[in-house]
Structure 1
């Protein structure tokens, strides 16, 4: 019996879609879902819908955080600029005279006074250089000194407790000065009486 030329292909089944129409269910299962495909350099990249969902949420969250941080930084920058403008304006309203060479004189006075009283008590070492610096500041920059005093008084008025404490300290200082003046006057009077009595005694001795 002669051999059939296509005898080896008798068991080969036809490929759906070529020799016969493909089944609709098979077509749906075999066809790519274009909604989950991304084409990059001619290649189709399939992504998971769940991954796309959470990556989109993460991207949206990062965008919101970035927007919030950017707005906060802009607010802080604006606040710093406003504070700097207010500080600069207040400084210009207080300091009228040129700083140089007045500042050098003030610092030199404070340092020299500090060296001079370096072996004294802690109170003297603390207050005497400060008083000396304030005195030189008042002499070299009188307008700025007056503006500084006015500014301190305005700030003090905002804190009633500090104002009351300062008034009490000033009253105590005045009372102490009055007591010292009274004691000095009494001491001078007593010394004068003793000298007068001594002179009278010497005069009686040489009669």
Structure 2
């Protein structure tokens, strides 16, 4: 059911330090912390000193993650109980950031998408955000019919959490809204819905 060859499907690289950045903002979840730690191992002390790390603690209840990040001697380290509270702080940080600030995001796709969406709202191109995917392939899906979001999607098709339509989860991705697109799978033949399969574990 996955539609191959869709150019908007996100591709990711590895986090790598930008030696020319005047300051750095790194947003991570538990899985993304390993990407940050890998980058920190190759970064200079000066780079780390001018870096701020924001951790979604909801995905990292184990305090060991925070201890490992702190051990890198990062300039600033903040943890947040949920992704929403993290994004609220990121919004205020980006609002006062100056030219030469580099933004990084690592972890699951919903976190990366949310960070890039916030960056775009502040005039930062999605291509300028250094991104690395780590962890689950679960998706955030927007229903193209009711515009509602369904989070942590693992199956295809999936039922929209808002309007109840059964959606084909396409590989079409929008950085602007930070989600994959879901379209009604039985619009032409109501009730003819294929069996759901786990595609995004």
The two structures have a TM-score, normalised by structure 1, of 0.20
More helix by proportion, 1 or 2?
A: 1
More strand by proportion, 1 or 2?
A: 2
Larger RCO of the pair (alpha carbons < 8 Å, separation 6+): 2
The two structures have a TM-score, normalised by structure 2, of 0.21
